[in-house]
Structure 1
Amino acid sequence: MPHILIVEDETIIRSALRRLLERNQYEVSEAGSVQEAQERYSIPSFDLIISDLRLPGAPGTELIRLAEGTPVLIMTSYASLRSAVDSMKMGAMDYIAKPFDHDEMLQAVTRILRERQNAPQTPAASQGTAATSQSGEAQSDIGIIGSCSAMQDLFGKIRKVAPTDSTVLIQGESGTGKELVARALHNLSRRAKAPLISVNCAAIPETLIESELFGHEKGAFTGATAGRTGLVEAADGGTLFLDEIGELPLEAQARLLRVLQEGEIRRVGSVQSQKVDVRLIAATHRDLKSLAKTGQFREDLFYRLNVIALKLPPLRERGGDVLEIAKAFLQRQAKRMERGELRFAPDAEKTISQYTWPGNVRELENAIERAVILCDGSVISADLLGIDIELENLEEEEYAPLNQGSGANEPTEDLSLEDYFQHFVLEHQDHMTETELARKLGISRKCLWERRQRLGIPRRKPSGASTATDH
């Protein structure tokens, strides 16, 4: 069982993180400062150290030296995100912004521990990876499982594109592993020893995104009491990965375009520009070309980003890869939870192969983790996966009543389920709340949100009374 040290001076955060890790089968020790950690423990003996950046006495980065090679994950608030990136240059394994999402923290911990364990064999290992595919072909350089023709084609493109400095746009549904592709591109490039800075454009508040990406000068806006470098500048010499770039505000898009065209940035509130050497990789689940046509995304930026486009297929289109990935996840979870050898029952394999996995690889991993936790023996049955194929099919059939008695303007012939869903939502979202849309479609609000994400249909903000009734 991996042993993790938490160094955090805020008791509430430290206790919450400890409970989260212990629930996921990690052994946890804790300290409130670097000095306390030194006095109580042999720091290099841990498998991973998770530390706040700002601590009483010595900063969290001091643990990088004391750890003597043990990986250190730095936690920080958005206000000091710039300093966290600096800590990576000092040797930190990664950083995570507070308040952090539980899944995000667990994914970071899993990935770091796996990379440490597999470093001699597969330095590019990452979430959803395996060293060898069923066909026997080693994938250690890519670090992603995939035997189907679409994935093999993708791997070939990654190997060709990675050594270049060309901008890459990764397209695919949520949960397909777009960040894994970005990491593979970085790890196989000449910039592999420089930082890979990952930014989720949808996770940073719109009012902060320009400052976070491009930095700002003192006094540039209310609260800017000191100048700060941005994440683009932090990635100088390395790779900048912008996930969910379709959520980037138009003003920030204009600044990003300058980075791509001129290779320079200008901080918010500054009149001077400075050169940066950054390789940009962007990812999105949305149709940027369509967004550009409607003015929601800059057309000139789209063409700058779309130099090399890599398409990640959804899990439902990857054939035998689904079961291969599931078995890899099962092996990993069994090892992490010290469960011995586990295997899928025939009905579980059938369910895994038949289910459409709207949440893709992320949903599959969560299902496997849940099944391992609930399993009492050595065989994973279908019911432990928490997937109901019949219910999923029934949910689709619930659209059928809408096809009867629909308005004359609504085409119902020769439309697939997804076509009908898209047509109905776009037709009615201006005057219906999310609750009303879901009720008319015969699905839950959660299902409505997931299908919006999968089909790239942005939610429009309701106005007036509609806003009040939707909450």
Structure 2
Amino acid sequence: MPHILIVEDETIIRSALRRLLERNHYQVSEAGSVQEARERHSLPGFDLIISDLRLPGAPGTELIRLAEGTPVLIMTSYASLRSAVDSMKMGAMDYIAKPFDHDEMLQTVARILSERRQAPAALAEPAAAQAPAPASGEIGIIGSCPAMRDLFGKIRKVAPTDSTVLIQGESGTGKELVARALHDLSKRAKAPLISVNCAAIPETLIESELFGHEKGAFTGAVAGRTGLVEAADGGTLFLDEIGELPLEAQARLLRVLQEGEIRRVGSVQSQKVDVRLIAATHRDLKGLSKTGQFREDLFYRLNVISLKLPALRERDGDVLEIAQAFLRRQSERMERGELCFSPEAERTICQYAWPGNVRELENAIERAVILCESQTIPADLLGVDVELEDLEDDDFAELPDPEVDGSHEPTEDLSLEDYFQHFVLEHQDHMTETELARKLGISRKCLWERRQRLGIPRRKSSAPSS
């Protein structure tokens, strides 16, 4: 069981974080200051230290030196976010803003612990590191469907450049994972990747947070501060949900892209920055620009390279692979041994549309692992609503009537697989995969599997790419 030390002087926050971590099967110790942590505990013996940045006496960053290699996660308020970025340059593994989201905290903790476990294996097996990585392994994203293989190829081509990238996709599809892959495979990989959720910062603070401010620039600005764009100098700035950025901040960001310089709020002087920008959104920026809600000139500056992340329901064959990976991760984290899905649970996972995408799938599996009382997870613990008839084993229970569907070829002598092949070839030019599956009375996954088995390629779209 991983052992985590919380260093936080506010008792309420420390207790709440302790309960959260213990509920998720971590062993937890506490301290109220760096001095108390040093006197009461052997810091290198922990798997992770989570520390507030501002503590009585020495700051939380002092633990980076004292921990002798143990990863340190810094907690900070938005008012001192730039200091947290500085702490990463000093060796902190990551930072998280308070008040933090529970899921975000747990995901960050799990990622840091996972990276720590993998590091010794990578050092112990240098030869393995030289071997070519699988398509998703080197990028850090699970997926083998055609759409994801195409995306991985584009990531490899785009990552070594300094071009601005716009990642588009529904909420929960993993846009930040793509941004991290672009950074990790770039020449800026050793420099910081600064991630900013534009929707999470109050509109009144966004310009100051991004571009910094001078002393006296506004009420409460008692000292000058560095902005996040400046903190990313030499590295990568990832702006998530950029569609939520106010118009005034958009104008300042445009200057960064056009001139490679920033001007702090309240300053009359500009300074050069070397930043590679990656932006992400689930909104239609082009449509917003036509209605004046997003600057059109900024949209075209952002849209140098556009990467479209498919929704989970469009990733034929990937959903079960992703679910199995999440199950292994949650089982290990909660020390549940080897868990598996029941056949009904697997069919539910493949059949459900997952409107919340990968994030919804991960949450469903985490909930199921917590509630499961055996080593096999039943379908009902996933907490999703799939009609029973969608899970029937007989995929061809309701074949469409060829006369109704406009096909006049004789079918009485055809086997079910002959009929399947005939029907798909007859209708795939004017039906989507979803419509074909619905007409055949099967799931999209089953349609994909039978295409593979019978060697029926999907029709390539003739529509021009956008």
TM bin, normalised by shorter chain, reads 0.7 to 0.9
User: 2 CA distance for matches of 1:37 and 1:120?
Assistant: 26
Which of 128, 137, 148 is the equivalent residue of 2:145? 148
Distance in 2 (alpha carbons) for counterparts of 1:220 and 1:138: 49
SS in 1 for 2:4: strand
* One-letter amino acid of the structure 2 residue matched with residue 255 of structure 1: R
Structure 2 match to 1:49 = 49
Match of 1:165 in 2: 162
* Mapped contact 2:136–2:144 kept (Cα < 8 A): no
Report what 1:381 is aligned to. 378
Q: 2:171 aligns to what? A: 174
What is the Cα deviation at residue 137 of structure 1?
3.3
Conserved 8 A contact 1:122-1:141: no
Partner of 2:246: 249
1:76 and 2:66 aligned:
no
CA distance in 1, matches of 2:121, 2:380: 36
Q: Where does structure 2 lack aligned partners over 5 or more consecutive residues?
A: 124-128, 391-431, 433-466
1:138 and 1:27 map into 2 onto residues whose CA distance is: 35
Identity of aligned residues (%): 87
What is the aligned partner in structure 1 of residue 456 from structure 2? none
Query: Partners in 1 of 2:388 and 2:279 — Cα distance?
Result: 36
**1:122-147 residue CA offsets vs partner (Å, 9 max, x unmatched):** 79xxxxxxx9xxxx935332010010
1:41-67 C-alpha deviation (Å, 9 max, x unpaired): 110111110000001111100000111
Q: Equivalents in 2 of 1:119, 1:248: separation in Å?
A: 37
Task: Tell me which residue corresponds to 2:340.
Answer: 343
Alignment of 1:274-353 (within 5 A): 274-353=271-350
Q: Does 1:207 align with 2:204?
A: yes
Residue 419 of structure 1: aligned partner: none
Contact 2:173–2:310 under 8 Å retained in 1: yes
Report what 1:221 is aligned to: 218
Counterpart residue identity of residue 38, structure 2: Q
Q: Secondary structure at the match of 1:152?
A: helix
Tell me, what secondary structure is at the counterpart of 1:389? coil
Other structure's SS at 1:202 match: coil
TM-score (norm 1): 0.79
- 1:148 and 1:318 in contact (8 A); partners too: yes
Letter in 2 for 1:370: R
Matches within 5 A, 1:443-458: none
- Alignment coverage as a number of residue pairs: 383
Partner of 1:20: 20
1:390 deviates by: 2.7
- Structure 1 CA distance for aligned equivalents of residues 370 and 336 of structure 2: 9
- Pair 204,122 (structure 1): closer, same or farther in 2 beyond 3 Å: farther
Task: Tell me if the contact between 1:122 and 1:143 (Cα under 8 Å) persists in the aligned partners.
Answer: no
CA deviations 1:175-232 (Å, max 9, x no partner) are: 0000000000000011111100000000000000000000001111111111111000
| CA shift digits 1:96-124 (9 cap, x unpaired) | 1111111111111111111111235679x
Q: CA–CA distance in 1 between the matches of 2:134 and 2:72?
A: 33
Contact between 2:243 and 2:281, CA under 8 Å: does it hold in 1? yes
Matching residue of 1:37: 37
CA distance in structure 2 between the aligned counterparts of 1:392 and 1:293, rounded to whole angstroms: 44
Which of 1 and 2 has greater Rg? Answer: 2
| Number of the residue aligned with 1:5 | 5
**Is the 2:340–2:375 Cα contact (8 Å) retained in structure 1?**
yes
Q: 1:76 and 1:392 mapped to 2: Cα distance?
A: 50
Q: Which amino acid aligns with 2:26?
A: Y
User: 1:146-180 deviations in whole A, cap 9, x for unaligned?
Assistant: 10000000000000100110000000000000000
Per-residue CA shift, 1:374-413, capped at 9, x if unaligned? 11111011011111213999xxxxxxxxxxxxxxxxxxxx
Give the aligned partner of residue 193 of structure 1: 190
Opposite residue 272 of structure 1, the aligned amino acid is Q
Partner of 2:402: none
Aligned to 2:361: 364
The separation in 2 between residues aligned to 1:153 and 1:121, in whole angstroms, is: 30
Counterpart of 2:117 in structure 1 is 117
What amino acid is the match of 2:318? D
Secondary structure in 1 matching 2:359: helix
The runs of at least 4 aligned residues of structure 1 exceeding 6 Å deviation read none
User: Which letter does structure 2 place at the counterpart of 1:336?
Assistant: R
Inter-partner Cα distance in structure 1 for 2:210 and 2:201: 10
What is the RMSD computed on CA atoms of the aligned residues? 1.7
Contact 1:331 1:341 in 2 (8 A): yes
CA contact (8 A) 1:6 1:51 kept: yes
The correspondence of residues 390-409 of structure 1 with structure 2, limited to 5 A, is: 390=387
User: Which amino acid is 1:355 matched to?
Assistant: Y
The amino acid of 2:89's aligned partner reads: K
Distance, in Å, in 2 between the alignment partners of 1:268 and 1:342 is 54
Paired with 1:120 and 1:45, the residues of 2 have a C-alpha distance of 16
1:13 deviates by 0.3
Residue 241 to residue 360, structure 1, CA distance change in 2 (3 Å): same
2:91 corresponds to 1:91: yes
Q: Distance in 1 between matches of 2:170 and 2:69?
A: 36
CA contact (8 A) 2:135 2:149 kept: no
2:122 and 2:286 mapped to 1: Cα distance?
37
Measured after TM superposition, the shift of residue 17 of structure 1 is 0.4
Q: Which runs of 5+ in 1 are unaligned?
A: 124-130, 394-415, 417-471
Deviation sequence 1:318-374 (CA, Å, 0-9, x none): 111100000000011111111111111000000000000011011100110111111
Aligned to 2:66: 66
1:168 touches 1:281 (CA, 8 Å); kept in 2?
yes
